[in-house]
Structure 1
Amino acid sequence: MNKRLLSVLLVMVAVVTVLCRCNGSSEGKDLRGEGFVGSATCATCHKAIYDSYLSTAHNNTSRAASDSSVLGRFSSPGNNFGFLNGVNVVMEKRDSGLFQVAYLNGQFQEAHRFEIAIGSGRKAQTHVYFKGDQYYQLPVSYLVSAHDWANSPGFPASHPRFDRIVNTACFGCHTSKTVVRNIQEKGTGFTEHFEKGQVIYGIDCERCHGPAADHVSFHKENPGQKQGRFITRIDTLKNQQKLDMCAVCHSGLKPAIQSIFNFKPGSLLKDYYYPDFNRPKVSELDIHGTQYQLFSASQCFVQSKDMNCSSCHNPHATERTDLKVFSQRCMNCHKEADHTFCTNSTVPAATLKQNCIDCHMPSLPSRSITLLTNGQTKPTPDSIRTHLIGIYKPDVKGVVELVTGRTNGK
């Protein structure tokens, strides 16, 4: 492993460890240190926004595993997943929690407790267990479209694998803080050792708005001051800074310079990830995780001076099923009056205004996120809406393909 990188990681962990031991959750303090207050505090003054945000995918991207948070059945016959080697993993509800239990010919092999549910449950949900001082992904996930348990993405169909380690590269975008006790060099890489249960679930207010302790203190003492003080005002950031706030998690996995838990609003992406010198063509990018690259290659973005993720998305509300809302935002630029409206003359303009999205940002199958359901021999891909805005048409197989803008990723 790069010695310099290791030394940086060790220093980071040492600082974080001191902060967390002094200000741990057992004392009611935020795991991130004195500058943070936790999202529940924001609800005092921003209750409507806070209540709306609770239902969003960002907030629910990770949760403590429980009867209410884990999707899928825990009673027969819908709680069993069979592997090719004859091992069955059974989802069992016990007095001490929810478990995935492996049996071979009816004989117990091993059992692991659901600790964390990863994913909002809109598309799929996978799960994590804790052993020793490390987190591991469980071999069986839940696929919403199939309403059934499925083999976890990238796992073998031949046997259940309980040894895939989950590290901060995963937690960095699915939690607001996961405490690492220390990092040890191991061969050409490193091993992270975690503090069990020291997690701030979901992507909370302060991941996007920055530490709010001073902001809260000031406005408690100055209730008449209506303009936000001692907090990053998103509308004052440069457009690239706004984009980077989303791209830190929506631009795919890349070698990290430092922990993205350190990322604050106004930070630049280039300070957190090494440059990608072998950038693939846009046509080769998978729709999962590379929303930033696909969006920034779109002509809508290229021809705009100030378009960013928030031009279309309200991060405080769940709008994903309301295509009319998104379509109306397209109308901010694509207007009949200035002849920039959709040129499809076979459909009435009033109808087009109800749904631009399915034509210009269709849902496509992911090549990287595929899950094998019970009894199937071919994995089912997760379907995700592409962020490469363009003109699409069905190809000869009935799969939509991009008609224009194919050279965007040259």
Structure 2
Amino acid sequence: MQSPLARPLPRWMSTAAVVLIVAGVFAWRWPGAAEVPPQTGAADAAGRRYASPDACASCHRSIARSYSLTGMARSFARVQAGTPVLAEIDTGTGLVHAASGRHYTMTVRDGRLFLRRHTLGPDGNPADVVERSADYVIGSGNHARTFLHREADGRLRELPVSWYADRGGYWAMSPGYDRPAHLDFRRVISTDCMSCHNGYPRGPVVDTGSGPRFPEPLPEGIDCQRCHGPGQDHIDAARARDREAARRAIVNPARLGRDRQIEVCLQCHLETTSSPLPFQIRRFDRPPFSYVPGTSLGDYFIHFDHAPGSGREDKFEIVGSATYRLRQSACFQRSAMTCTT
């Protein structure tokens, strides 16, 4: 199976064709049953079992400690009394979004963070008031933090205001919200969003058509198994002092071939376009959270891209451009370097 980057979008594929493909895929996958991701004690399609993320630290203390300081490890957290995020953001201040005419205020009450939105009525007083709790935060805070509200049924909704770390820290509209007709409190977090911003959920994720319902407790941060694959068999072999079995049971990205090694990063760092059309579609027979490092990413996602020679080779977009820039570099083309070189 070729690397995803080796499969450009054919010239003949028009916008209409892409729309039809998307419609067909989603019609096939219209959720009527539970989508069950890997979880603690569960196995992937090859029978490899996932472990509790905390188990890795029992043998790899130094690595676990240093990894815990990275942005990936701090990518997702619960917002509650005593969490560092409440001390690192400015609360009680307001944000006026001129494009939509909405006013937003973040406040803390009883150790919980809330976002309040209102407009101004004809008499100049607050109207159309809505308030939601900020129950989780996406983002380490190195660059930004976006907040999520949890519904009673387990669905997560993105809040329209985010905290940005530069210039001493400030509130502004969340990515994609700085426009008159934004989604406000209506954007439901998808499994695709969760799969790259957090560790794999530890229980079944049910979606009956109105958005995925994530089980509690949610992981807090991307854990070791995102890059090393399911770890329970590795742990069991290590406890049995079977060194060779332990090595075979875990993925060491450094020992993978170049394409498979790069795809460990590309599972989340390949976005071929930021346009409204999808840049990738998960294959219909692959449930969410089922990609395993060391396997072909092309067996999990179908990626769409501009055809070679279409004049779009030098594009610069938000997420996926790093991949293009790396592959265009002289160092990459003249050596065997990868993302981790």
Could you say whether these structures have the same fold, taking a TM-score greater than 0.5 normalized by the shorter chain as the test? Answer: yes
| C-alpha distance in 2 between matches for 1:275 and 1:4 | 14
The AA in structure 1 aligned to 2:160 is P
* Structure 1 residue 142 corresponds to structure 2 residue 156: no
CA RMSD of aligned residues (A): 2.9
- Contact kept, 8 Å, 1:59 with 1:203, in 2: the verdict is yes
For the structure 1 residues 298 and 100, does the alpha-carbon distance in structure 2 shift closer, same or farther, using more than 3 Å as the test?
Answer: same
The structure number with the bigger radius of gyration is 1
Measure how far apart 1:282 and its partner are: 3.5
* Structure 1 residue 203 corresponds to structure 2 residue 203: no
- Contact kept, 8 Å, 1:176 with 1:261, in 2: the verdict is no
* Structure 1 residue 212 corresponds to structure 2 residue 228: no
Measure how far apart 1:155 and its partner are: 0.8
The AA in structure 1 aligned to 2:78 is A
| C-alpha distance in 2 between matches for 1:116 and 1:289 | 26
1:276 pairs, out of 296, 304, 314, with 304
- How high is the TM-score relative to the length of structure 2? 0.75
For the structure 1 residues 3 and 307, does the alpha-carbon distance in structure 2 shift closer, same or farther, using more than 3 Å as the test?
Answer: same
Measure how far apart 1:108 and its partner are: 7.0
| C-alpha distance in 2 between matches for 1:81 and 1:197 | 32
Name the SS of the counterpart of 2:199 in structure 1. Answer: strand
- Contact kept, 8 Å, 2:160 with 2:173, in 1: the verdict is yes
Name the SS of the counterpart of 1:165 in structure 2. Answer: coil
Partner residue of 1:295? 326
For this pair of structures, how many residues does the alignment match? 291
For the structure 1 residues 42 and 103, does the alpha-carbon distance in structure 2 shift closer, same or farther, using more than 3 Å as the test?
Answer: same
Name the SS of the counterpart of 2:325 in structure 1. Answer: helix
Range 151-160 or range 220-229, more displaced: 220-229
Name the SS of the counterpart of 2:175 in structure 1. Answer: coil
The AA in structure 2 aligned to 1:50 is A
Which runs of structure 1 show a deviation greater than 4 angstroms over 4 or more consecutive aligned residues? 1-11, 29-34, 157-160, 223-227
Over residues 51-80 of structure 1, what are the superposed CA-to-partner deviations in whole Å (9 max), with x where a residue is unaligned? Answer: 0000101111111123423542123xxx21
The AA in structure 2 aligned to 1:155 is Y
Partner residue of 2:205? 180
Partner residue of 1:129? 149
- Contact kept, 8 Å, 1:31 with 1:198, in 2: the verdict is no
Aligned counterparts, 1:90-101, within 5 A:
90-95=105-110, 97-101=112-116
Over residues 264-322 of structure 1, what are the superposed CA-to-partner deviations in whole Å (9 max), with x where a residue is unaligned? Answer: 11111211221424257242231434322221121211111x211110xxxxxxxxxxx
- Contact kept, 8 Å, 2:49 with 2:230, in 1: the verdict is yes
For the structure 1 residues 31 and 291, does the alpha-carbon distance in structure 2 shift closer, same or farther, using more than 3 Å as the test?
Answer: farther
Measure how far apart 1:95 and its partner are: 2.0
Measure how far apart 1:192 and its partner are: 2.6
- Contact kept, 8 Å, 1:10 with 1:182, in 2: the verdict is yes
2:52 pairs, out of 15, 38, 49, with 38
| C-alpha distance in 1 between matches for 2:187 and 2:280 | 19
| C-alpha distance in 2 between matches for 1:48 and 1:216 | 17
For the structure 1 residues 224 and 308, does the alpha-carbon distance in structure 2 shift closer, same or farther, using more than 3 Å as the test?
Answer: closer
For the structure 1 residues 211 and 128, does the alpha-carbon distance in structure 2 shift closer, same or farther, using more than 3 Å as the test?
Answer: same
**Contiguous gaps of at least 5 residues in structure 2:** 1-21, 120-124, 272-278
Name the SS of the counterpart of 1:291 in structure 2. Answer: helix
Range 242-251 or range 289-298, more displaced: 289-298
1:102 pairs, out of 112, 117, 138, with 117
* Structure 1 residue 155 corresponds to structure 2 residue 159: no
- Contact kept, 8 Å, 1:248 with 1:260, in 2: the verdict is no
* Structure 1 residue 116 corresponds to structure 2 residue 136: yes
